């Protein structure tokens, strides 16, 4: 219900009708079988528009749904290592981490300690430093290594360029694998 004595009226096609009494604007909308909708109540005089409000709400809902669809959900993929992970397993896991980052997902790297391995936590830190060095061109460190119980956790995010989004590097082939230190 519009309570102002005069309003600035915009027609159904977007044309300016001008400042008219509210009762006249309501009659114009009724004759066109459309609704009189207040667009800008803070303006002087308030701005109202003649439109099909149901259709307008439907289009707004549809556009917000399509905007929600276009948003990419980032997932956190986890890769678990042990302090004694051998070079072959390391290469396979590193390849998967590179694939996760190239797909635009975050990668969580976990080093799990069992039994007396907790006494040698520096081995896990060395492993994470090696992983960070191998992934430096594919992603950025979002969370530095930290202990959570018997696990050492580090999180990588995909490397983002200014305009294009995610950098798409080819998955390394056996001939082009990253230089892995032993």
Q: What is the pLDDT of residues 7-34, one digit of tens each?
A: 999 998 889 999 999 999 999 999 999 9
CB-facing half-sphere around the CA of 112: CA atoms within 13 A: 6
CA distance 134 to 178: 7
Nearest to 108, CA basis, from 83, 145, 133, 160: 145
Whether the CB-CB separation of 152 and 121 falls below 8 Å is answered with yes
Give all domains of the chain, ordered by start, each with its CATH number.
6-70 (3.10.20.80), 76-176 (3.30.110.10)
Segment 95-138, tens digit of pLDDT: 999 999 998 889 999 999 998 888 888 999 999 999 999 999 99
Tell me how far apart the alpha carbons of residues 160 and 41 are, in angstroms, rounded to a whole number.
42
Of the chain, the end-to-end C-alpha distance in Å amounts to: 76
Q: Is the pLDDT of residue 159 over 50?
A: yes
């Amino acid at each position: 219900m519009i309570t102002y004595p005069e309003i600035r009226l915009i027609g159904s096609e977007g044309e300016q009708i001008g400042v008219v009494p509210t009762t006249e604007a309501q009659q114009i909308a009724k004759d066109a079988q459309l609704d009189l909708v207040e667009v800008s109540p803070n303006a002087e005089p308030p701005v109202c528009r003649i439109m099909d409000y149901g259709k307008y709400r439907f289009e707004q809902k549809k556009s917000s749904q399509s905007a929600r669809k276009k948003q990419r959900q980032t997932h956190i993929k986890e890769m678990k290592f042990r302090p004694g992970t051998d070079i072959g397993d390391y290469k396979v896991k590193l390849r998967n981490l590179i694939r996760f980052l190239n797909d635009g997902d975050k990668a969580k790297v976990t080093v799990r300690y069992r039994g007396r391995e907790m006494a040698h936590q520096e081995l896990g830190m060395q492993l994470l430093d090696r992983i960070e060095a191998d992934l430096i061109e594919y992603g950025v460190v979002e969370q530095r290594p930290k202990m959570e119980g018997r696990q050492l956790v580090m999180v990588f995010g995909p490397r983002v360029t200014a305009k294009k989004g995610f950098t798409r590097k080819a998955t390394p082939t056996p001939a082009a694998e990253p230089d892995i230190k032993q």
